[in-house]
A and B are shown apart, each in its own frame.
Chain A
């Protein structure tokens, strides 16, 4: 598994993907930081984080688009699947590789927080900061598992990226979709799987077990589905 993880990371940084993803993430992060914190002389980073929600769901498909689709296209999956590696190790290696890549993007928040510390009375509310960071990481990991699953379904990384972005946007707008439904119980059901809803508790610096379990369940479910896709391909 560590071999796959290392290889994934190396492939992000030997190609331009890793750098471009980080650059885009840092750019929007910087933009929102400037606007909400510096320009408004605010030490509240929660607005910055909630604005980055959208960037996160759009950038993650770029991280994972190659993961499994390109392996299949280039037939390198033959090397992986005929090696003594278990399928679980392959999926987990790919998943963790993307998560570590995403964590590299998270570094920018630390820089923002440190920057704020230089202002008189500017040190951010750390519990809110850590809550937001944890929420963003869980959200990112959940999106990675969903996008990895999408990547396992196709041989084309373009399709994988586009479908992943659409899925991300649908998740982002899921509350608005819920509002359109007039039948109560369906509307409630949709809201209960809303990522934004589960993410919100973290933004106020509250650690909620229920929300953490929600994100971890999503991660487990989609990694499991990815595993089944790989398994099924063998048996079809």
Chain B
């Protein structure tokens, strides 16, 4: 379990990280999402003990990073934004070096072979890292983070610069790793995070602006439920009919499709499921529903809404 509490990091007057707190449970893949410069890498560097925090604590399975750094660091595999590769070494030599500085107690050759095959580097183990392509370098970076099977994996934008098929492969790999490891995975690409992660922490300007399960994120942000629905019938009668349903807060016409056929957006209290009632009342008044979709606000919109509050102090915490 990784516990981050009230983390603050200031550089002069600039607050790079401002009071960030979150917890990652064992076996969870946490997406750490935020625009460029939001403080993702700084937070990750603090969690892994590369830099210190101005205040606040990071605890990795009961070991606090500043008080028991060796204990804490043993439990972390870290892939920084720029993989820390010694480019004049071969892949295998590099992994052997990392194996020894991480003080791993497993049988060396077997373990490295295992990691090489997991990251599909077996055929490239004797190549000099300098000559590898970006995607392979990234894999070597991931391979080094996996050495010693650390319970916690911290991956800082691991898919940047990869081609689409590599990205897909990488995502699957990380998803697989999430079964055995606790993973914190940062990205500024929303679709990536929502595809892999169980939970998402969104940060912006060094603050946590949302912390929710992936599928609940949009409701958490708006605080309302959304129903997007296509109905046949005149606008005035449809609106007045819908208003009679309990829980409905606001009805708006999204788009006109034909003269007598519109797309509406209904905001309702998120605790109430209004779909059945809406169906019943419209059927009774002979207004056919042609399509109905819950969750009118996409994750994308939710994310943009969150991260556009650039100056807003104290977003949702």
Q: A82 at interface (Cβ–Cβ under 8 A)?
A: yes
- Counting residue pairs across A and B whose Cβ atoms lie within 8 Å, the total is 67
Cα distance, A80 to B93, chains bound together (Å): 16
Given A15-B88, A234-B51, CB of A85 within 8 Å of CB of B101: yes
Interface string of A5-41 (1 = CB under 8 A from B): 0110011001100000000000000000000000000
Q: A182 at interface (Cβ–Cβ under 8 A)?
A: no
Which chain A residue has the least Cβ–Cβ distance from B77? Answer: A82
Task: Count residues of B near A (Cβ-Cβ below 8 Å).
Answer: 28
Q: B74 at interface (Cβ–Cβ under 8 A)?
A: yes
Let me know if A234 and B52 touch, CB within 8 A: yes
Q: Shortest beta-carbon distance, B100 to chain A, in Å? A: 4
Q: B306 at interface (Cβ–Cβ under 8 A)?
A: no
Report B165-182 residues with CB < 8 Å from chain A CB: none
Q: Shortest beta-carbon distance, B46 to chain A, in Å? A: 10
- Which of B50, B74, B88, B89 is within 8 Å of A84, CB to CB? B74
Q: A176 at interface (Cβ–Cβ under 8 A)?
A: no
Q: Shortest beta-carbon distance, A73 to chain B, in Å? A: 11
Let me know if A234 and B50 touch, CB within 8 A: yes
Interface string of B46-84 (1 = CB under 8 A from A): 001111100000000000000001100110101010101
- Which of A3, A10, A75 is within 8 Å of B100, CB to CB? A3
Cα distance, A116 to B86, chains bound together (Å): 43
Q: B243 at interface (Cβ–Cβ under 8 A)?
A: no
Report B99-147 residues with CB < 8 Å from chain A CB: 100-103, 144
How many chain A residues sit at the interface, stated as a range, is 20 to 34
Given A75-B84, A79-B84, A234-B51, CB of A86 within 8 Å of CB of B78: no
Which chain B residue has the least Cβ–Cβ distance from A3? Answer: B100
Name, among A6, A74, A79, the residue most crowded by chain B CB atoms within 10 Å (CB to CB): A79
Name, among A2, A3, A80, the residue most crowded by chain B CB atoms within 10 Å (CB to CB): A3
Which chain B residue has the least Cβ–Cβ distance from A7? Answer: B97
Report A38-78 residues with CB < 8 Å from chain B CB: 74-78
New contact pairs (20) apart from A74-B85, A81-B50, A83-B101, CB-CB < 8 Å: A3-B101, A6-B97, A11-B86, A15-B88, A74-B87, A75-B84, A76-B85, A76-B86, A77-B84, A78-B78, A78-B80, A79-B98, A80-B101, A81-B49, A82-B50, A84-B70, A84-B74, A85-B101, A233-B51, A235-B52
Pick the 8 closest A-B CB pairs, nearest first.
A79-B84, A3-B100, A76-B84, A82-B48, A84-B70, A84-B73, A78-B84, A83-B101
- Chain B residues proximal to chain A, CB less than 8 Å: 45, 48-52, 69-70, 73-74, 76, 78, 80, 82, 84-89, 93, 97-98, 100-103, 144
14 chain-A/chain-B pairs, Cβ below 8 angstroms: A3-B101, A11-B86, A15-B88, A78-B82, A79-B84, A79-B144, A82-B49, A82-B50, A82-B78, A83-B102, A84-B70, A84-B102, A234-B50, A235-B51
